[in-house]
Amino acid sequence: MILVLDIGNTNMSIGVFGDDSCEAAESLVVHARFSSVDRTPDEAGLLLENLLRSHGVDAGSIDGAILCSVVPRLEAVWREGIRTYFNVKAIVVSNKLDLGMRVDIDIPDEVGADRLANAVAAAEKYGCPVVAVDLGTAINIDVVSAEGCYIGGAIAPGLSTSVQTLFSRTAKLPQVALDAPPRVIGRNTIHAIQSGIVYGYTGLVDELVERVFLELGTKTPVIATGGQAEILASNSRTITNVDQWLTLDGLRIIFRRNKSKNVL
């Protein structure tokens, strides 16, 4: 079994894949999300061990691990926890691995590992060209060309980031759920805030994606993932699919391509 970790700025997703099935949802036997807080290697290892045990998975069945991280200080902690408690060395995603695609941008070392994982999974599962939209702490829009090359994208502040800023800097505005209101013209404060956030961010994503289409010269599948993917997709004119396993599946695919190579 393969242990996969996506370590983000706010949250981290952990998964365990079973066999080599190409259908990610069928082979994902464990999935959980935790806050990306500082932990010791022992705390990280015990968390993973207890998580697997709660799903009936024995630690000894883990024969490989891979992670992508946008928080450098957490990367070493989780690698050490995995090595100590599972006796495997985790592969760390970077553009130096065999991704099955060329990273064709100005400075390849700058691209986030999570963005690479999303691009790899989107291309593998939905074909090329394709656009991946990750709606997390930041909004990442990543583009794979018709030739199967990662060619860049766009980054914007995420919904939760903007919402936290709004509520922390305004004394009278109430905190609200990120639900779509019945109309854009909110007739009360809660609906007005929801309108600005949900429809405003949907418009941001759609505008960026449509500009991507213009630059590519064609429309493509647009695959959304992340915490707010469902609500934005239901209001979007460009998002074609929601795939909550996209990043984890990208990690699985990258692991399979690199497991027999000396990449550790």
Q: What is the pLDDT of residues 153-199, one digit of tens each?
A: 999 988 877 777 776 666 556 677 788 999 999 999 889 988 998 99
* pLDDT exceeds cutoff 80 at 264: no
CA distance 261 to 41: 26
pLDDT at residue 137, as a whole number: 83
**Averaged pLDDT, 194-223:** 96
Say yes or no: 83 and 129 in one domain.
Answer: no
> Which parts of 102-142 fold into alpha helices (H)?
113-126
Confidence band of 76 (pLDDT split at 50, 70, 90) = very high
- When divided into structural domains, the chain yields a total of 2
pLDDT range class, residue 25, cuts 50, 70, 90? very low
- Kindly state whether residues 122 and 235 are assigned to the same domain: yes
pLDDT of residue 263: 63
Residue 44 zone, left/alpha/beta (φ > 0; ψ -120 to 50; rest): alpha
Mean pLDDT to the nearest integer, 53-69: 92
Sorting pLDDT into bands at 50, 70 and 90, what band is 85? very high
Is 17 found in the same domain as 132? no
Residues 140, 239, single domain; the answer is: yes
Please indicate, yes or no, whether residues 200 and 168 belong to a single structural domain of this protein: yes
| pTM assigned to the model | 0.90
Say if 99 falls within a structural domain. no
Q: Is 63 tagged catalytic?
A: no
Same domain, 50 and 126: no
How far apart CA 175 and CA 192 sit, in angstroms, is: 12
Is the domain of 112 the same as that of 75? no
Q: What is the pLDDT of residue 239?
A: 98
Q: Contact at 8 Å (CB) between 49 and 177?
A: no
Residues 66 and 116 in one domain: no
Residues 113 and 241 in one domain: yes
Segments forming the whole domain that contains residue 39: 2-92
Structural contact between residues 161 and 169, judged by C-beta atoms closer than 8 angstroms: no
Read off the pLDDT of residues 114-134 as tens digits, 9 standing for 90 and up.
Answer: 999 999 999 999 999 999 999
Kindly give the interhelix angle for 246-258 and 113-126, rounded to the nearest 10 degrees: 90
Residues 207 and 237 in one domain: yes
Catalytic residue among 20, 109, 114, 134: 114
8 and 73 together in one domain: yes
Residue 88 belongs to domain with CATH number? 3.30.420.40
